[in-house]
Structure 1
Amino acid sequence: MAPKNQARDNREARERLRLYQARQGLHERQRRRRVRDNVVGTVVLVAVAALATGSQLAFAGSQGSGTADASATATATSTPTPSATAGNTGDVPSKSIAKDSTWTGTLTLNKDVRLGIELDGQKAPQATSVEIELIEEQFYNGTTCHRLADSTGLQFLQCGSANGDGTGDAGFEYGPLENVPSDGEYAKGTIAIARSSSPYSQSTQFFIVTGDTTLDSSTGGYTVVGKVTSGLSALVSKITSKGIAKAGSDGTGEPKVATKITGATIEREQ
């Protein structure tokens, strides 16, 4: 039987995901309604024009779905083999959301660690668009930062899994990789998107680099979506410097200080 707090956290994770998917469903219905109305209007215009010119208009689209566990792997040594059907799966937010702009906001951990963040909609439009929607839909609120690396040359805190333990997503995965450092060097303060072997396995998880970190570039690297602009010292002193509760075979593990995202905001820089 799971401890009471774990069972509560699992219920909260399921409820958070349910609410997010419900909001996504509402948005999708609204989008389809707008598309339907637009198509109806277009068909009327095309019908009139076709009488005079014989013009034709074709509409086509496709949609897939899929899930996978995303994680930032510092010890991978082989080049990942993309899926035979590599591509986005599920209802991925449009990359146009980022508007090729800089977005700024906050990420609050455990109510008392407030990080200023900046997302780069020019260099990483798809990843930035995903993060904007997840933040605006409050997907991250209550999720756990489940993984910490604190060794020399490998320092990051990983957050954002739907289930709080490195598993689950928001019903979509996306690619391609964007703004990846060619030398595998991720500077302190970098915010990057976690993934599994496929470049199209990015979803909701991200990691904050708390000290200059080198990751194996032969595996494809990781999308750099932005950076922490303030509060990093508080994150280190209050959370990451306290160490790992129990390290796994790769030297990473759950932080000793249980860490949750308790708030997040984002807005387009004026």
Structure 2
Amino acid sequence: MSTNEERRDAARRKLEERLEREQQAAKKRRLSMIAAAGVVVVAIAAVGGYFWWRSWDNDRHTVCDYADAPADLQGQIKSVEAMLPQLEADKKPEAEAFLTTLRDGVKKERTSPKPDSRTLNSGNPELTLATNMGDVAVDLDRSHAACNVNAVISLANDGYYNGTTCYRLASSQNIAGLQCGDPTRTGAGSPGWNSPDEAPDFLEMTPPDPQMAQLGMTQGQITYPRGTVAIINSNNPQAQDPAQQANTGNANFIVFTKDSTSTSPLSVIGKASPDGIKVIDEVMKQGAVVGPGSTAENGVPKANLEIKTASVSDDD
């Protein structure tokens, strides 16, 4: 038979064991709560970090809308052919020369896949046009025309410009430059899509003459400095077809060889290097062919400048 003292000792041991178990259980609960809180903090940090990164990444990208726009040289040929019999005799040679250019252009048509719609909006990749007269390097600038720079990079990487010849020379009091980038040499070729307009708001602009503004001509004169490379478009705000009113640029570009003024807002993709502009100068010095459809101020270059290859050194 156990004594009272033995019973008290046994009760004390049980109490101590129960208290120890409760302390261990409470410790486990605290550890579990700390671990859970840590997971929550990590999860919150991860989610916050993801959204911060996403916002930062979105800020450095632009989303571009490249619209389907296949070339229609055959349609232009039919239109000129239908108009030809109605022309006055002195106008027919020019129309026939244009028809020949269009028919030759059909044989040289090519297309290129649409660029990715999401592109960086800063940085200065370099486009190198390796020509039969020397390299023309162009310092591209995404900050002024991200979508059009992206388009040119895509075209160059796809080989669209390879083996093409610059097709038009402009040399007037206001504008001087060489047009390139159309495999058909018609100025009407297309890779199958158009790029969105990106107005050259950073360039010097002279307000329109008040009298011209009263006639509805509200676009001021834009100055394109020597060396500027810009995308050519055929925008016509008065056109009935909305597709012809804006966003008609694609692969064709002009390299200005003197400070030039125009009311046409062209998307500026960059600037030719000093050595590159000298190559274009040599073509300009030889002038343009004078004949049907080609004048000294706006015509086919006498010098045959061929872009053998176009390549891009990115800055990423």
TM-score of the two chains, using structure 2 as the length reference: 0.53
Q: CA deviation at 1:92?
A: 3.8
The answer to whether the 8 Å contact 1:68/1:201 transfers is: no
The alignment partner of 1:102 has SS state of coil
Matched, 1:134 2:155: yes
Q: Deviations over 1:144-191 (max 9, x none)?
A: 210001233311000011312212111101212233535110000000
Counterparts in 2 of 1:125 and 1:151: CA distance versus 1, 3 Å:
same
Structure 1: how far apart are the matches of 2:124 and 2:198? 18
Unaligned runs of 5+ in 1: 1-61, 70-89
The alignment partner of 1:241 has SS state of helix
Match of 1:170 in 2: 191
Counterparts in 2 of 1:158 and 1:63: CA distance versus 1, 3 Å:
closer
Matched, 1:103 2:125: yes
Amino acid at match of 1:228: A
In the TM superposition, structure 1's runs of 4+ consecutive aligned residues that sit over 6 Å from their partners are none
Structure 1: how far apart are the matches of 2:283 and 2:295? 22
Match of 2:182 in 1: 161
TM-score of the two chains, using structure 1 as the length reference: 0.61
The answer to whether the 8 Å contact 1:179/1:225 transfers is: no
Structure 2: how far apart are the matches of 1:66 and 1:209? 26
Unaligned runs of 5+ in 2: 1-64, 73-111, 206-221, 236-244
What RMSD, in angstroms, separates the aligned Cα atoms of the two structures?
A: 2.6
The alignment partner of 1:239 has SS state of helix
Q: Which has the higher contact order (CA 8 A, sep 6+)?
A: 1
Q: CA deviation at 1:235?
A: 1.7
Match of 1:245 in 2: 289
Of residues 176, 190, 207 in structure 1, which corresponds to 2:254? 207
Larger Rg: 2
Structure 2: how far apart are the matches of 1:118 and 1:214? 22
The alignment partner of 1:128 has SS state of helix
Identity of aligned residues (%): 25
Q: Map 1:1-270; keep pairs closer than 5 Å.
A: 65-67=68-70, 92-110=114-132, 112-180=133-201, 181=203, 183=205, 184-197=222-235, 198-216=245-263, 219=264, 221-246=265-290, 248=294, 251-269=297-315
Counterparts in 2 of 1:236 and 1:145: CA distance versus 1, 3 Å:
closer
The alignment partner of 1:172 has SS state of strand
Structure 2: how far apart are the matches of 1:194 and 1:266? 20
Q: CA deviation at 1:102?
A: 1.2
Amino acid at match of 1:97: T
Amino acid at match of 1:171: G
